[in-house]
Structure 1
């Protein structure tokens, strides 16, 4: 077992967010005694685990004795969860239960940082007509991802009353370099990058671009996770916090900004087959509780994030 002051166990460590969390923790190692242990399902680096196997988790936690666990492991893409709902519930809900109970059994003093999602709010966004919503709003999830995360969050909140030292986060949409094209910003950026090198004609076919969403840079998001994993904020124990910018970004505007960043003339065509009404017109969060409790607020401008995402995909398609 490592003797570092901070021992951070990260589940789902090799995913998009987990990779950036590792980068964030590495950047702090010169100022703090930090060791972190990345684990994931069929992990390329770190240790491979299956969070559906409770005994395996107990052995893992007992052997490493973390000071904090950042639980990112999930079926994270809503479309993936919709296509495999049983797997989503097994990983997102039952897997979280296994991880939380393993922490309580094998490392009862460890801080359990659970990553939920703004998807748990679901149709409650419609009750606020685009105004930022706080953490006390009723959760009305609309899909398997949101519902399984809401169930896991309720479980973790219940275990807080039984001694689990936990903090829960509901991050809103976050993007950045390295995100897969399953997500809208990366999807637009990749297409524009491919157009720029002649891999596709200068045409982008789109569906409904009217929806408004609250976007963050992933590097701002993992900063909150790292802060809470490393430092004890007594007022956060058992609590849940939005991570949000408080600003709505219309999908149409995001596409327009990315086209401008790419410096190209693009023919944007509406594809009738992709035109589906959005069940939630606007989803915006109020993160004032996180500001008050841990002094967190976004620091990276959305324009910087979009530029970084486009540059990432331009480099990828150029090297391919």
Structure 2
């Protein structure tokens, strides 16, 4: 793709994206917002598109143009006209429906991607943010490589996989220069999900006088071991995928994770320990975990990311947890379309 090749020689940073026009769909979300900010820091001319507009922007830092648009309500013709007016060299799709009915998930995780693939100009670079949950349940202990046959077991994972397949087919047919970054569980400042919920619970309790004997946090059973990656490392992976030379990652799935399986139970205990809050954890009745996947164990093989993108995770998990405690509140919704919902039961007794 000519635009990417030209930009690669003219930037000021290590990725050379100065002036490259990048459209980030879902740019007000947790992952999309980080992708937009990382691209802007690398010198790209970034436009964020979502119902929420754009990510929070620091005074004096690189700015991201925000466009408020309901992507879920757009058909192929409206989408084509919008893209033609924007004329991006690269599109990053961070839109995704995490919660809600099957129809809503299909609209955004599947049909929107199909429309996007069908309407983008030929050979446009498209970086799709996928999910490691697309692999489905894994028993371990071998790391999950990109060649593993995906067998998703939930509506969310199945619809995300269909989005992935749209991108891969168009790329392998030569219509697009597209790739999928298959992202593990994400930690770091403002993270959603269980760890983010615990971090926010800690922040709320820290502002209170502890009761006699300390606070008590009740959670359902935490039996899973998952791969976690810091959101800032995901942003770096997006920048590298955007900057990759033409054809290098076309038609590829690239795992983006920490490269190790960590017991979720241990991470919750570590958050509590790092907080210094007088609190003990007790088991609550009912099942704990996310309705998005029943996968009890997952560790991604991240060698392809290293070989093709020169990417490795740079934020240690312990530091990621510390930073999560320092900034526990997500600035926007998780996926750029809907805000996060908490499927976990966080209870306190005094």
TM-score interval, smaller chain: 0.7 to 0.9
Distance 1:266 1:48, change over 3 A: same
**Normalised TM-score (structure 2):** 0.79
2:189 maps to which residue?
A: 177
Distance 2:217 2:267 in 1: 13
Task: For 1:207-226, list aligned pairs within 5 A.
Answer: 207-226=220-239
Query: Which of 122, 125, 133 is matched with 2:144 structurally?
Result: 133
- Counterparts of 1:78-157 in structure 2, within 5 Å, are 80=99, 83-103=100-120, 107-123=121-137, 125-126=138-139, 129-157=140-168
Distance 2:40 2:315 in 1: 19
Task: Provide the secondary structure at the position in 2 that maps to 1:89.
Answer: helix
Distance 1:200 1:66, change over 3 A: farther
CA distance change for structure 1 residues 200 and 279 in 2, over 3 Å: closer, same or farther? farther
2:24 equivalent to 1:24:
no
Per-residue displacement from partner, 1:35-81 (whole Å, max 9, x unpaired)? 11110135364231424421221112111111100011110x3xx1x
Given candidates 75, 84, 88, the residue that maps to 1:53 is 75
- 2:281 is matched with 268
Alignment of 1:191-210 (within 5 A): 191-198=201-208, 202-210=215-223
Which fold has the larger relative contact order, with Cα–Cα distance below 8 Å and residues 6 or more apart in sequence?
2
List per-residue Cα deviations over 1:179-229 (Å, max 9, x = no partner).
33xx01101111111111118861111111221000000110111111211
Give the Cα–Cα distance (whole angstroms) in 2 for the partners of residues 310 and 258 of structure 1.
Answer: 8
Does 197-206 or 163-172 show the bigger shift? 197-206
Instruction: Measure the CA separation in 2 of the matches of 1:141 and 1:206.
Output: 26
Shift of 1:275: 5.1
> 2:196 corresponds to which residue?
186
Structure number having the greater helix percentage: 1
Match status 1:74 vs 2:96 = yes
- Counterpart of 1:64 (choices 59, 67, 86) is 86
1:291 corresponds to which residue?
A: 306
Structure 2 vs 1, CA of residues 315 and 260 (structure 1 numbering), >3 Å: closer, same or farther? farther
Query: Which of these residues, 169, 174, 178, is aligned with residue 166 of structure 1?
Result: 178
Find the aligned partners of 1:145 and 1:200 in 2 and give their Cα distance: 39
The structure-2 alpha-carbon separation of the partners of 1:192 and 1:53, relative to structure 1 and needing over 3 Å to count, comes to same
SS of aligned partner of 2:286: helix
> Residue in 2 aligned with 1:255?
268
Deviation for aligned residue 1:272: 1.4
In structure 2, relative to structure 1, the CA distance for the partners of 1:275 and 1:229 (3 Å cut) is closer
5+ residue gaps in structure 1? Answer: none
Q: CA RMSD in A?
A: 2.3
TM-score by length of 1: 0.87
Residues in 1 aligned to 2:289 and 2:305: alpha-carbon distance in whole angstroms: 34
Q: Return closer, same or farther for 1:276/1:57 CA change in 2, 3 Å cut-off.
A: closer
**Could you tell me how far apart the structure 1 residues matched to 2:267 and 2:195 are?**
7
Report the CA distance shift for 1:42/1:20 in structure 2 as closer, same or farther (over 3 A): closer
Distance in 1 (CA, whole Å) between partners of 2:289 and 2:47 is: 42
Q: Is the CA contact (8 Å cut-off) linking 1:233 and 1:293 kept in structure 2?
A: no
SS of alignment partner, residue 166 of structure 1: strand
- Return the offset for 1:282: 0.9
Q: Following the alignment from structure 1 to structure 2, what is the Cα–Cα distance between the partners of residues 23 and 42? A: 15
Matched residues in 2 for 1:25 and 1:184: separation?
28
Distance 1:134 1:313 in 2: 32
